[in-house]
Amino acid sequence: MSDTFLIEYDDAEPAARAVFEEIAAARGIDPRQVNNFWKAMARHPAQMRRMWSNMKTVMVPGALDALTKELIYVAVSVTNNCEYCIASHGAQARRRGMTEEMFGELMAVVGLANETNRLATGYRVPVDDAFKVP
Amino acid sequence: MSDTFLIEYDDAEPAARAVFEEIAAARGIDPRQVNNFWKAMARHPAQMRRMWSNMKTVMVPGALDALTKELIYVAVSVTNNCEYCIASHGAQARRRGMTEEMFGELMAVVGLANETNRLATGYRVPVDDAFKVP
Amino acid sequence: MSDTFLIEYDDAEPAARAVFEEIAAARGIDPRQVNNFWKAMARHPAQMRRMWSNMKTVMVPGALDALTKELIYVAVSVTNNCEYCIASHGAQARRRGMTEEMFGELMAVVGLANETNRLATGYRVPVDDAFKVP
Amino acid sequence: MSDTFLIEYDDAEPAARAVFEEIAAARGIDPRQVNNFWKAMARHPAQMRRMWSNMKTVMVPGALDALTKELIYVAVSVTNNCEYCIASHGAQARRRGMTEEMFGELMAVVGLANETNRLATGYRVPVDDAFKVP
Amino acid sequence: MSDTFLIEYDDAEPAARAVFEEIAAARGIDPRQVNNFWKAMARHPAQMRRMWSNMKTVMVPGALDALTKELIYVAVSVTNNCEYCIASHGAQARRRGMTEEMFGELMAVVGLANETNRLATGYRVPVDDAFKVP
Amino acid sequence: MSDTFLIEYDDAEPAARAVFEEIAAARGIDPRQVNNFWKAMARHPAQMRRMWSNMKTVMVPGALDALTKELIYVAVSVTNNCEYCIASHGAQARRRGMTEEMFGELMAVVGLANETNRLATGYRVPVDDAFKVP
């Protein structure tokens, strides 16, 4: 690749540095400690800004608490087989209180849902009237 | 198809009828009201028994409560695009307390995770040392 | 859509009609009975020809017999959630000898593999040295 | 991670050691040679027991022989992009008789099915009446 | 479902009505003609606003023109098997100039990429040094 | 594995060497520089021939130019999480003119499409009449 792959905070364009700083402030860390995902996004500062704005808005505690949101994030990342996201959001979930026992149950639900998803599809099960949308 | 597609409780083999009855008892409903997934599984009573046994074990409240488990189930089903499972576990989640607001936040997390999963993959982001397993 | 969606044999371009005829001959049916997949492909005769050529070459009995190949086809189609392909290759598999009992075991393996695929991914299991490629 | 990542037989809880021993006995190997998947599952002995019980039941020869079941397992694992499962079940399939020629044909069917799955979906092909379920 | 499934413009909350109006203005249509995706999103006005903001920003012509962006959208939607998105972005692509011949070539590339993706994975092909990131 | 994993040009069977030579000629390189994907396919010369024939036919400039086809290839490969294909077709796309800015927009569309695909599915949005096929 002819382009820089990961961009460190010190080498970033001003627009990207500003996002590094916001992320760091939100997490109470130094901007140089922000994780690799954002160093990759820093190649395109407008996209980096867009994704950080989405992340902030969506992951804030609301009707669902912060840990539940991280568990859902991990469930999706495992189903999509995204190694990076499993690693980063798994760490985030543990920081927010996921115990090893909770992780075991999370994996069990994710595994079973993946199994029954395929069974429902393979058996071509029609949706029950009770579950139909109006 | 030369074989019966969905098997009603009254037409099921004794081994399948027994599972219908256990499901009905666990849910406080009549065995004839059990949903279509199980009527399809009833074609293979041993598999039906196996899946019910897994479902009971995995979905029981533990370190994660019953609602959280259903939210995770829906997140996986949406990511896998399983219409039946979105419908049935969506209904189950609502029965267990998922409000419309919680559903909106669940979808937002699922959507965003699917987006960032692809970005992390497409940018080929290496896992940070801090997230590495030993 | 401004373009014809499914093209019947009688309305097809000569290049597409020729493929309809080859498919029909290979299956011992009338060209008008060829299934919908090919009526869609007939919109692009060169692609239709390319896909029929691939299908013939790949699905011919070889080191794996015709039924085993259809079982594999169904396993992939279920995992990909392709309703059309589950329906058409399920029918093909039954024609080639898949019994209801075999279908039940096929679904059980497909379901379980989908579960353990996610568990191996979610637990981030490293490949054993014994399974490594040279 | 604050928790042990892979648990060796000698360090496992009694409930997990018992499963290691059953797996080893079924395979005629030493419990210390059991593959990494189970060392990860050993973190949650109840889940390890559940998965081993499923694996034993589903993979036993029945209407489909053991090799055919492994081929199906590999087909699903490739479609799901599970590196670990491709490696472990590929090895298992070879032990059960998969030749290099059979592997080549397996990959060809898996590849082609993935192609036509997307074509059927992209062309929005309606299911033929002949393939409809009752 | 106890909640309204699709929300029409006339029944929407003010915050959602404002988004309907922006979408309609951008497309030169009446707010009552906005497509179903947005009527579903209108159940959660803040999410509707967030998604519309993303859509506007990402789909605007830039280094890639509007048609190319729609082709990429369709390619992803086919690979993910999203019927709604194939239908809506397929229509959008045609409005932006996709001919039937271009659609045929798009499907051919999508199909072939899905095939070779699985082959590269199934054969466990290591990334060439020339393709490695620094 | 008891079989050779990657087969170099000098060790290949004549039928595979012929394909190496055709690929090299088409790219203006030495047959020993052909990338790893083909060295893996060389284990099964008939499949290698079949895939090269498909690749040549599908990727030739037509109604869509060569760069657009590579962008679509990358979009699919990212969605399928195929590391090898992202690496090889990413390199190919850059050779055909993809700038860093175009790559950023490509990723943005791929990311957003993956998000809205799941939202459309999760909200169970019915296809608008205007988007229905006849």
pLDDT at E113 over 50: yes
pLDDT, mean of residues C72-96? 97
Distance between A47 CA and the closest CA of chain B, angstroms: 11
Domain count, chain C: 2
What pLDDT sits at residue A134? Answer: 65
Give residue-wise pLDDT tens across range A15-66.
999 999 999 999 999 999 999 999 999 999 999 999 999 999 999 999 999 9
Torsion of CA F111, F115, F116, F120, to 10 degrees: 150
Residue C127, SS3 per DSSP: coil
Q: Given an 8 Å threshold on Cβ–Cβ distance, is B100 in contact with E50?
A: no
Name the band, by pLDDT with cuts 50, 70 and 90, for residue F134: low
Q: Do F5 and F46 share a structural domain?
A: yes
Q: Do F83 and F45 share a structural domain?
A: no
Contacts of A49 in chain F (CB under 8 A): none
Q: Do F131 and F82 share a structural domain?
A: yes
Q: Which of F60, F77, F100 is the last residue of a domain?
A: F60
What does the H/E/C string look like for chain D? CCCCCCCCHHHCCHHHHHHHHHHHHHHCCCHHHCCHHHHHHCCCHHHHHHHHHHHHHHHCCCCCCHHHHHHHHHHHHHHHCCHHHHHHHHHHHHHCCCCHHHHHHHHHHHHHHHHHHHHHHHCCCCCCHHHCCC
Q: Name the residue in chain D with its Cα closest to that of C64.
A: D102
Contacts of C64 in chain F (CB under 8 A): none
Q: Given an 8 Å threshold on Cβ–Cβ distance, is A69 in contact with B105?
A: yes
pLDDT at B1 over 80: no
What pLDDT sits at residue A133? Answer: 75
Q: How many C×D Cβ pairs under 8 Å?
A: 207
Q: Do B67 and B39 share a structural domain?
A: no
Q: Given an 8 Å threshold on Cβ–Cβ distance, is F121 in contact with B86?
A: yes
Contacts of C81 in chain B (CB under 8 A): 80-82
Q: Which of D50, D52, D79 to mutate to test the interface with C (most CBs of C within 10 A)?
A: D79
Q: Do C132 and C74 share a structural domain?
A: yes
pLDDT at E2 over 50: no
* Cα–Cα distance for residue pair C75/D122, rounded to 1 Å: 20
In the numeric block, which tokens belong to residue A35?
């994780």
Q: Do D102 and D36 share a structural domain?
A: no
Which CATH number belongs to the domain containing residue A96 in this structure? 1.20.1290.10
Q: Do D93 and D54 share a structural domain?
A: no
Q: Given an 8 Å threshold on Cβ–Cβ distance, is F72 in contact with E73?
A: no
Name the band, by pLDDT with cuts 50, 70 and 90, for residue B92: very high
Length of chain D in terms of residues written: 134
pLDDT at E129 over 70: yes
Domain that includes residue D55, residue range:
1-60
Task: Answer yes or no: are the C-beta atoms of B35 and A128 closer than 8 Å.
Answer: yes
Q: Which chains does E contact via 3+ CB–CB distances below 8 A? A: A, B, C, D, F
Q: Given an 8 Å threshold on Cβ–Cβ distance, is C43 in contact with E124?
A: no
Task: Answer yes or no: are the C-beta atoms of B56 and B26 closer than 8 Å.
Answer: yes
Q: Which of F38, F60, F82 is the last residue of a domain?
A: F60
Q: Name the residue in chain C with its Cα closest to that of E107.
A: C47
Q: Do B48 and B82 share a structural domain?
A: no
Q: Given an 8 Å threshold on Cβ–Cβ distance, is C134 in contact with F5?
A: yes
Q: Name the residue in chain B with its Cα closest to that of C103.
A: B44
Contacts of F1 in chain C (CB under 8 A): 133-134
* Cα–Cα distance for residue pair A66/D5, rounded to 1 Å: 25
Q: Which of B82, B99, B100 to mutate to test the interface with E (most CBs of E within 10 A)?
A: B100
Name the band, by pLDDT with cuts 50, 70 and 90, for residue F1: very low
Does residue A83 form part of some domain?
yes
Name the band, by pLDDT with cuts 50, 70 and 90, for residue F132: confident
Give residue-wise pLDDT tens across range A75-113.
999 999 999 999 999 999 999 999 999 999 999 999 999
Q: Name the residue in chain A with its Cα closest to that of E129.
A: A1
Q: Do F54 and F75 share a structural domain?
A: no
Please state, as a whole number, how many other Cβ atoms lie within 10 Å of the Cβ of residue A26. 11
Q: Do E31 and E76 share a structural domain?
A: no
Give residue-wise pLDDT tens across range F116-131.
999 999 999 999 999 9
Length of chain A in terms of residues written: 134
What percent of chain C is modeled with pLDDT above 70? 96
Q: Do D3 and D14 share a structural domain?
A: yes
Give residue-wise pLDDT tens across range D68-117.
999 999 999 999 999 999 999 999 999 999 999 999 999 999 999 999 99
What pLDDT sits at residue E3? Answer: 52
**ipTM score of complex:** 0.96
Q: Which of D60, D76, D93 is the last residue of a domain?
A: D60
pLDDT, mean of residues F35-57? 98
Q: Which pTM was predicted?
A: 0.97
In the numeric block, which tokens belong to residue D2?
């604050």
Q: Do D26 and D73 share a structural domain?
A: no
pLDDT at C2 over 80: no
Please state, as a whole number, how many other Cβ atoms lie within 10 Å of the Cβ of residue B8. 13
Distance between B44 CA and the closest CA of chain C, angstroms: 6
Does residue A18 form part of some domain?
yes
